[in-house]
Each structure stands twice: as C-alpha cells, then as structure tokens.
C-alpha cells in the first residue's frame, strides 16, 4: 500500500521527482491520510474483521444452510453441532454425527446425544432450500450442508428449532446495514441543518442550536422508544426497517450538525470564502465547493464513530420488542431469547449473536479511532 | 456570578417550553387519537363505554379541536392542577385508569436514586483511573484501562445485565431481579430494607456505570495528557515543585472542566440506559412503565414520562453548568 502511493503520486505531478527518497514530499493529502490510517494497527484489525462481516451479511442466504424461519423438526434447543475431521479415501473430510433426542427423567429438558455410527460428511456448494436473490431470481446453492437424515447447527438452535447460525448470518444484514442507513440520513440532515446554522448565523443559528441542545438533553432510548410507538404493527418487515432507520437518525444528526456548524463558523470569514462569494458564487456553490471539502475528513470520522451507536440502538429497540418484528430478524431480535436467564444456564449458545454485536461495535470504534488519528494534521 | 445564574435559568424556560411541545408531538404521533385507542382498549377488556364518558373526555382533552388548542389545554391542566392526563392501564395497584402523574410519582424516586448513584460511581471510579492512566502512560494499568474502556463502550447495557444475571444465577442460584427481595417489597422503609436494597442495587449500578466509566476514562486521560505536555508544567517541575503538588494544583483542575461540561451528555445516557436496564432487571422504575405504555400506545403516559425525564436532565445539566462556573473563574468573569 505504502509503496504504491510513493510511486503513484509523483508521476502525475508537474515537478519531477529527483529520486525515490524525496518523492515522499509529493504525496497528496488523501494519500497521507491513507498511509497514516494503515499504520494504525487496531484500525487495520477493524477493517480486517468488518469487511468479512459485511460480505457475510451480503451473501447471508448463500452462507446460511437454512432459511431464517426453517424449523428443524425435533431439534428444539439443540446445542451446536460438533464438527469432526477425518480422512476418508485419502480426502480430508469434515463430518458430523447424527443426533438423537431424549428427555431428562426429572426436568423433561431435551438431551441430545450423538449416534456415532454413521458419519455425515459436510459437503460444500450443496443444493438446499431456495432463496431469492434481490427478488430477481431464485437460487438453491448453499455454501455448506449435510445430507438429509441429519442437520448441522453451528451455533445450536432456538426454542422452536431454528438454526441459530443461519439466523445470525441473515440477521447481520439488518443489524450491519441499519447503521449505514441511519448514518446516511443523519449525514444529509446534519450537513444541511448544521450548514444553514453555521453559514447564516444570527437568529436562525440560535434557534437551531437550542433545538439541538434540546434533542441532546432528551434521554435517547426513551425518545426512540416513544417514536417507535408510532410504527404501525401491521407494517411489513421492509417498512419497519426503514421506519427504524429514520427513528435512529432523528437523534443522530445533532452531533454531526454541531461539527458542521463549528467548522463553518471558523471558516466562513476567511479570505478564500469571501473571494469565492465576491466572484459571484452562490451560497450553495460556496458551501459545497469551498467549505465542505475543508472538513470532509472530519465528517468521515464523525460518521464512522456514529455507526456503532446506531447499531446498538437498533439492537436495544429490537431486544425490547419495539424494533424489528418477526419474521424480520436482527441481532437484537435473536437476543430476546436470552431474556430468560435461567434457560441460559442450559443453553449458553443463545448469547452468540451478542458476541457479534460486541465485535462489530468494537471494530467500528477501532476504525473510527484510526481515521481520527489519520485525519488529524497535527498527529504524526 | 449571580448574573450568570439568572441568565442560565432564563434560558431554561424556553427550553422547557420547546420540550413540552416536542413531547406533545410525540403524544400525537401514533395514528388515531387518544379517545379511540382508549375506547378500543376498554372494548378489548369487554367493557362498554358510555356516551357521557366519551363526551366528558372529548371536552377534557379538547379532542377534535385544532392541535394548538389541545396542547394549550394539556399544558394548562398540568400547570394549574398537576394533571398530565390519564393512563389506560393499571400499574401494580387495583385502580386502573390512573392519573399519569401518580404513576410517574410512584416510580420516579427509584429512577433518580439509581441514576445519581451510577453517576457518582462513574466519577469516583473513572477520574482516579483516568489520572493514573495519564501519569503512567503505556504502563500495564494504562493498557488494561484502555482495553476495559473499549469493551465497556462496545458491550450493550442490556446484554451486560443479562450476563450478570446469568452468572450470578448459575453460581449462587440467586436471581438478581427487582430492587428488593420479596419480603421487603411492600414493607415500609427501615434499615433492614435499605440493606436489602444494597444487595440488589449493585447490579444495575454496575451495568449503568460501566459504559460511562469507559467513556470518562478516555476523556480524562486525553485531557490530562494534553495538559501535562504544556510548558507551565515543565516550568513548575524545573522550579522543584513536588510531583504530587504539581499534578493536583493545575493540570488535574483544568482537565476536570470538560468533564463537568459534558455531564449534560452523561446524564441523558445514564437515564436512558436506566430505562433499558430496569426492563431487564425488572426494577420498579420508570423504564418498564414506559415500555408497556409504548407497547399499548398509551401516549399521554409515554409522552409525559419523556417530558419529566428530559426536564430533570435539563435541570441536572443546569446544576452541572453552575458547578462549572463555580469551578472555573474564566467563565465566571466572561
């Protein structure tokens, strides 16, 4: 990465680079930020974890062996499958054993024991339940699966026998992308309102600032809860999804608007802005061409750091039953099953979706920190 | 000093007015009006609504009239009679259709206690650790504090609460739920009851303060590091001031300022988090009431709860701002 930047940048420059060593001086600002970002170890880790997670979410239907609502008959509250490895006919082959259900004599709790007679090899790119791709056509190829007669549940199953691994991957789609959607709306609102506030100043500014103060003072979660009360229960999964995105960004834009306003206030009286305006640039032109680029990096940092808050918000709302509704799934919906903490003693695998939330939020914070350090011209 | 206080209090008044308008908007947000939802609720319970009652309620809330009339009527009832409307449901007691203010008054003390205790714990834990982290940068403690800080930010409140309940239940068989054990739940206040509360209150306080502690350690550490690199610190040290005196006399005092001024953000977070954590721990606070009100679209209750919580937060912020004025002479003489 660093190498490519070193060589790439100066070749487009008018001044010829005398030798490789001094070429470092010709790096563009963007290239400098990129270099500093990649030097941040935790930020690299964040990217390395988040990218696969997002790929997992995009191809969830393909990766998941079952659909989110498929009930595996006779496999309620089954623990994760144990994957074993063996060499069959000179081929390295992972396999699982079939499981048999019995009941505890006193508590009637399900007990699953492996039947160590037949090995069921795990096949890759197998045909399974059909799913639609972007609503355009149907496919039935899955990344992995086992033959009929048994099943594979990497993360165990829930109380009605739905595969938790499939549900977690499919839920990732809602949980991971709601943050991006919410931030996108917040971005537009924040830039627009913050821009108006900072650019015009005066009474408009005072009013907008008071509104922002007020929104920040209202405890976020109760506000979200009340707003989601307005989402009709009859709405479809997609409608609910967009409604929640909007609810989350009602609060989200305030932080961004403050950043935009603060930066605009400090920039708007500088000479180059006056020059642009005197040359006949319209307000919108001056804002978008001269002012916004000046703090774009700052905006990106604020945006990245806002995403985890949105993901946590959706999770919390869904967890208490005000967010996504079945048949829609998100990590928060999956965690509803953990409300019964007594059952967790016997079925701790139901906490696995929570692990995904923690990792995602943590990684976004790492990336945000890395971006902030990289975009700060004073840190070297 | 007096001028600053008066000005700050004067700013609070329009804020509270805007807040009440926002909350009224929230009340109006769900489709259908209060009365039709109310009638629907009664019919679901198999009760018949008589015409006189409907007429009385229509009159009382100004239903059918323009929104601003309804708003003014709602506010007048509140300011003149302390009446915020009525709730559909019964909460705990046999008396259904209770005044919203009664329900809130019953539950508010526990909410305030937990929020204040959590805030104090956040400060008491985060500030010393933040100072230690900054003065012993890159030490083992610093790394541990940073790591715990990151985890604290990433771990959702409710998940943390569940994990605590699960661990405690698995180890001891004791379910950390509710603020009091069964035998004390309806008992009058006594020393035994207070001790019993301490046995249960640690869990919500631990959960609530963790996220705040995580954030505050980071702020305190960063602020103090900025100060420690300044020249006056070098000068003071070169003049032979003892490290301890040097640290406490100036840099720590200056590093406190942003912490005081951001309490306005800490408070909403703790109060909001409290609502969620109480739902998980089944505490007798505002949170669970708000949830059931929202689920039932009992909007006068939901909107009023948000208004009271936000108003308290605004007042808490005001107090912290005034503390900042007292602490920092630069603001006082501005």
pLDDT of residue B89: 57
Nearest to B169 among A213, A315, A345 (CB): A345
Shortest Cα distance from A85 to chain B (angstroms)? 33
pLDDT of residue B88: 63
Pick from B17, B294, B321 the residue to mutate for testing the A interface (most A CBs within 10 Å): B294
A110-121: strand order across its sheet: A84-88, A91-103, A110-121
User: Where residue B185 falls among pLDDT bands split at 50, 70, 90?
Assistant: low
Partner-chain contact A222 B154, CB within 8 Å = no
The model's pTM? 0.82
pLDDT of residue A357: 93
pLDDT of residue B119: 85
Q: pLDDT digit string (tens) for A196-226?
A: 888 777 888 888 888 888 888 888 888 888 8
Neighbour-count burial for A66-93, b at 16+ CB within 10 Å, e otherwise: bbbebebeebbbbbebeeeeeeeeeeee
Q: Among all residues of chain B, which has the CA nearest to that of A359?
A: B154
**Is ipTM strictly over 0.90?**
no
Instruction: Look up residue A73 and give its DSSP letter.
Output: T
pLDDT of residue B92: 45
Q: Which of residues 223-242 of A touch B (CB under 8 A)?
A: 223, 225-230, 232
Q: pLDDT digit string (tens) for A268-323?
A: 778 888 898 889 888 888 877 887 777 777 788 888 888 888 899 899 989 988 88
Per domain, the residue ranges of chain A are 81-152, 167-374
Range with the lowest mean pLDDT among A21-35, A146-160, B17-31, B161-175?
A21-35
Nearest to B310 among A218, A335, A361 (CB): A218
Q: What is the largest CA-CA distance in chain B?
A: 86
Partner-chain contact B162 A339, CB within 8 Å = yes
Cβ contact A174:A329 at 8 Å: yes
Match 């601003």 to its residue by tokens. B68
pLDDT of residue B264: 67
User: Where residue A47 falls among pLDDT bands split at 50, 70, 90?
Assistant: very high
pLDDT of residue A356: 93
Range with the lowest mean pLDDT among A129-133, B46-50, B114-118?
B46-50
Shortest Cα distance from B22 to chain A (angstroms)? 9
Partner-chain contact B271 A222, CB within 8 Å = yes
Instruction: Cite the DSSP H helix spans in A156-219.
Output: 164-200, 202-217
3-state secondary structure at position B68: helix
Instruction: Cite the DSSP H helix spans in B250-298.
Output: 251-261, 263-281, 286-295
pLDDT of residue A7: 43
Q: Which two tokens stand for residue A335?
A: 């965690």
Range with the lowest mean pLDDT among A326-340, B26-40, B113-127, B312-326?
B26-40
Shortest Cα distance from B245 to chain A (angstroms)? 30
Q: Among all residues of chain A, which has the CA nearest to that of B300?
A: A226
Nearest to A210 among B15, B157, B269 (CB): B15
Q: pLDDT digit string (tens) for A67-97?
A: 888 888 778 788 888 887 877 667 778 878 7
Partner-chain contact B268 A312, CB within 8 Å = no
**Dihedral angle computed from the Cα positions of residues A359, A365, A371 and A373, in that order, rounded to the nearest 10 degrees:** -120
Q: pLDDT digit string (tens) for B196-253?
A: 777 778 888 888 888 788 888 888 888 888 888 888 888 888 888 888 888 888 888 8
User: Where residue B332 falls among pLDDT bands split at 50, 70, 90?
Assistant: low
Query: Can you name the CATH fold of A167-374?
Result: MetI-like fold (1.10.3720)
Q: pLDDT digit string (tens) for B50-85?
A: 777 777 777 777 676 777 888 888 888 788 777 777
Pick from A175, A203, A218 the residue to mutate for testing the B interface (most B CBs within 10 Å): A218
Partner-chain contact B272 A344, CB within 8 Å = no
- How many Cβ contacts (< 8 angstroms) between chains A and B? 145
Nearest to A166 by CA among A214, A210, A129, A122: A129
pLDDT of residue A53: 93
Query: What percentage of chain B reaches a pLDDT higher than 70?
Result: 85
Can you list the domains of chain B with their CATH numbers?
33-83 (no CATH), 100-327 (1.10.3720.10)
């Amino acid at each position: 990465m660093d190498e490519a930047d070193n060589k790439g940048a100066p070749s487009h420059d008018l001044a010829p680079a005398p030798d490789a060593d001094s070429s470092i001086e010709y790096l563009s600002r963007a290239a400098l930020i990129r270099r500093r970002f990649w030097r941040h170890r935790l930020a690299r880790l964040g990217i390395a974890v988040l990218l696969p997670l997002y790929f997992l979410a995009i191809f969830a239907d393909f990766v998941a062996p079952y659909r989110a609502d498929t009930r595996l008959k006779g496999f309620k509250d089954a623990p994760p499958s144990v994957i074993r490895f063996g060499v069959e006919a000179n081929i390295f082959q992972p396999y699982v054993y079939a499981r048999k259900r019995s009941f505890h004599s006193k508590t009637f709790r399900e007990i699953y024991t492996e039947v160590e007679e037949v090995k069921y090899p795990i096949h890759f790119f197998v045909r399974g339940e059909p799913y639609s791709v972007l609503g355009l056509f149907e496919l039935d190829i899955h990344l992995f699966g086992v033959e009929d007669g048994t099943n594979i549940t990497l993360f165990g199953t829930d109380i009605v026998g739905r595969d938790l691994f499939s549900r977690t991957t499919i839920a990732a789609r809602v949980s991971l992308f709601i943050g991006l959607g919410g931030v996108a709306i917040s971005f537009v609102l924040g830039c627009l309102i913050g821009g108006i506030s900072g650019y015009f100043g005066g009474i408009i500014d005072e009013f907008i600032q008071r509104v922002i103060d007020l929104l920040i003072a209202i405890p976020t979660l109760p506000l979200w809860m009340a707003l989601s009360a307005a989402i009709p229960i009859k709405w479809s999964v997609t409608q609910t999804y967009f409604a929640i995105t909007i609810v989350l960004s009602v609060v989200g834009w305030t932080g961004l608007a403050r950043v935009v306003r603060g930066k605009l206030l400090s920039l708007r009286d500088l000479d180059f802005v006056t020059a642009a305006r005197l040359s006949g640039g319209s307000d919108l032109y001056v804002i978008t061409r001269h002012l916004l680029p000046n703090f774009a990096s700052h905006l990106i940092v604020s945006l990245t750091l806002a995403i985890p808050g949105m993901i946590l918000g959706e999770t919390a709302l869904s967890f208490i039953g005000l967010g996504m509704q079945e048949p829609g799934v998100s990590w928060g919906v999956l965690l509803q099953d953990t409300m019964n903490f007594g059952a967790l003693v016997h079925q701790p695998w139901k906490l696995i979706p929570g692990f995904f939330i923690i990792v995602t939020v943590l990684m976004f914070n790492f990336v945000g920190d890395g971006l902030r350090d990289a975009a700060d011209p004073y840190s070297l | 000093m007096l001028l600053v206080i008066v000005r700050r209090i004067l700013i609070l008044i329009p804020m509270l007015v805007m807040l009440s308008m926002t909350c009224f908007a929230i009340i109006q947000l769900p489709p259908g009006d209060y009365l039709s939802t109310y009638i629907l609720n009664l019919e679901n319970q198999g009760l018949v609504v008589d015409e006189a009652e409907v007429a009385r309620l229509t009159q009382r809330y100004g239903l059918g009239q323009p929104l601003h009339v309804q708003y003014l009527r709602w506010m007048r009832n509140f300011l003149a009679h302390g009446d915020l409307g009525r709730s559909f449901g019964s909460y705990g007691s046999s008396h259904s259709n209770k005044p919203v203010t009664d329900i809130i008054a019953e539950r508010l003390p526990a909410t305030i206690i937990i929020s204040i205790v959590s805030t104090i714990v956040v400060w008491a834990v985060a500030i010393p650790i933040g100072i230690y982290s900054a003065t012993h940068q890159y030490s083992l403690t610093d790394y541990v504090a940073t790591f715990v800080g990151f985890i604290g930010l990433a771990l959702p409140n409710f998940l943390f609460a569940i994990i605590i309940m699960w661990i405690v239940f698995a180890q001891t068989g004791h379910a950390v739920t509710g603020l009091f054990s069964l035998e004390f739940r309806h008992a009058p206040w006594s020393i035994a009851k207070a001790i019993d509360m301490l046995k249960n209150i640690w869990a919500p306080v631990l959960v609530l303060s963790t996220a705040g502690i995580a954030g505050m350690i980071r702020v305190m550490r960063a602020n103090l590091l900025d100060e420690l690199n300044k020249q006056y610190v070098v000068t003071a040290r070169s003049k032979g001031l003892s490290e301890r005196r040097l640290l406490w006399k100036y840099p720590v005092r200056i590093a406190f300022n942003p912490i005081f001024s951001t309490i306005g953000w800490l408070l909403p977070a703790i109060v909001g988090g409290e609502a969620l954590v109480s739902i998980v721990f089944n505490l007798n606070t505002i949170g669970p009431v708000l949830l059931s009100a929202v689920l039932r679209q009992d909007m006068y209750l939901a909107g009023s709860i948000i208004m009271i919580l936000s108003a308290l937060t605004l007042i808490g912020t005001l107090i912290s701002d005034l503390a900042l004025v007292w602490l920092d002479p630069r603001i006082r003489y501005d």
